[in-house]
Amino acid sequence: MTDRVAGRIANHPTVRKVLANKAEPPPAVIDADWLRELCLSAGADDVAFASVDDPALASERDHVESALPGTKTFISLVVRMNRDNVRSPARSVANQEFHRTGEIINEAAHRITRALQDVGHRALNPSATFPMEMDQFPGRIWVVAHKPVAVASGLGVMGIHRNVIHPRFGNFILLATILVDAPVTSYGEPLDYSPCLECKLCVAACPVGAIGKDGEFDFVACSVHNYREFMGGFTDYVQTIADSTDAADFRSRVTDSENASMWQSLSFKANYKAAYCLAVCPAGEDVIEPYLEDRKGFMDLVLKPLQAKRETLYVLPNSAAKAHAEKRYPHKPVRVVDSGISGRG
């Protein structure tokens, strides 16, 4: 920069004002109690912190460094969902709960990030859900993996349904993560027990058999059905349009209900087809009492209405999900589809 340019900048009103009122640098280490109170006041129901140097989070380091160079700390946030909304056989009710809670946790993360910025820190709040980095699809599309961060910071443990179970709120939560450029005075530690009861209700509830009794998880079966109106499912829907010879042929392949559902997902927000594993989980201090008092009554009230619901199940051809759906749920129509992902059927 030439002396002339430097002088012109130094005489700019903004520069003079800033130099005359130079702010104190932010603390090199953020007080954990102050940060926790900030997060709870912003709308989080629980919060904990993890170091970017935590060996359990080594898989995240390069990704968060790319998103916010110099990241030192993960701030893991929890916001509760309303349980009976998630449990409802009316999936519009459950999906509204997922979407509204997602808005709440993103709003809380935005407020916290703004507050950290205002005291001089660099901070970033990736989306809690969607949007994501779709130019990376079908690879890793998320900026930071919220679940392992929550587990490392002590906010819960992954159940066999691959959802984080909070010790108090159970799995009726959404997670978000904030990246910040400073260490915190104290970090959380993983729980020394799992809130998961291993009751296997999630195994019984999944209509496509994605959760095995032995703990195995069929991600493709889950994504093909539950994410029917996201990503690959949308691609398969478009392929069906492209492959149809005319309107009558298309209408013979896709029902009016399916078209209306896809329209709703495109015009509002993409809707999940099941997420029954979340709905039936009785784990968590605030959740478990009805299950302990009357297990049969709990299953009659929560599990069986989801099992009895008449709904289309989306599966890949010749898959274990197809065999499971046809055997366990003969009253649920089975629709064989393409995954919409190249090389995956």
Span 125-155, pLDDT tens digits? 999 999 999 999 999 999 999 999 999 999 9
The pLDDT score that the predictor gives to residue 23 is 76
Task: Tell me the mean pLDDT in the region 297-312.
Answer: 98
Q: How confident is the model at residue 344 (pLDDT cuts 50, 70, 90)?
A: low
To 10 degrees, what angle do helices 320-328 and 219-226 make?
A: 60
Give CA–CA dist 105/90, Å, rounded: 23
Same structural domain for residues 138 and 217? Answer: no
pLDDT for res 9: 86
| Residue 336 backbone zone (phi > 0: left; psi -120 to 50: alpha; other: beta) | beta
Q: What would the mean pLDDT of 32-54 be, rounded to a whole number?
A: 98
Domain that holds residue 142: 3-180
Instruction: Note whether 138 and 236 are same-domain residues.
Output: no
Mean per-residue pLDDT, 33-41: 98
Do 126 and 248 belong to one domain? no
Residue 191 forms part of a structural domain: no
Q: Answer whether residue 189 is part of any domain.
A: no
Note the pLDDT of residue 18. 84
Q: Which of 180, 212, 243 is the last residue of a domain?
A: 180
**Overall average pLDDT of the 236-260 stretch:** 96
Banded pLDDT at 341 (limits 50, 70, 90): confident
Radius of gyration of the chain (CA): 24
User: Into how many domains does the chain fold?
Assistant: 2
Q: What is the pLDDT of residue 76?
A: 98
Question: Is the domain of 276 the same as that of 159?
Answer: no
pLDDT digits (tens, 9 = 90+) for 72-88: 999 999 999 999 999 99
Q: Is the domain of 214 the same as that of 252?
A: yes
Q: What is the mean pLDDT of residues 36-62?
A: 98
**Residue 155 phi/psi, 5° resolution?**
-90, 0
Chain-centroid distance of CA 210 in Å reads 18
Whether 341 is in a domain gets the answer: no
The per-residue pLDDT for 196 is 96
Its pTM stands at 0.93
Per-residue pLDDT reduced to its tens digit, 266-303: 999 999 999 999 999 999 999 999 999 999 999 999 99
- Cα 234 from Cα 329, distance rounded (Å): 25
Q: Which residue has the tokens 């709904």?
A: 311
- Whether 193 is in a domain gets the answer no
Average of per-residue pLDDT values in the chain: 95
46 with 129, same domain: the answer is yes
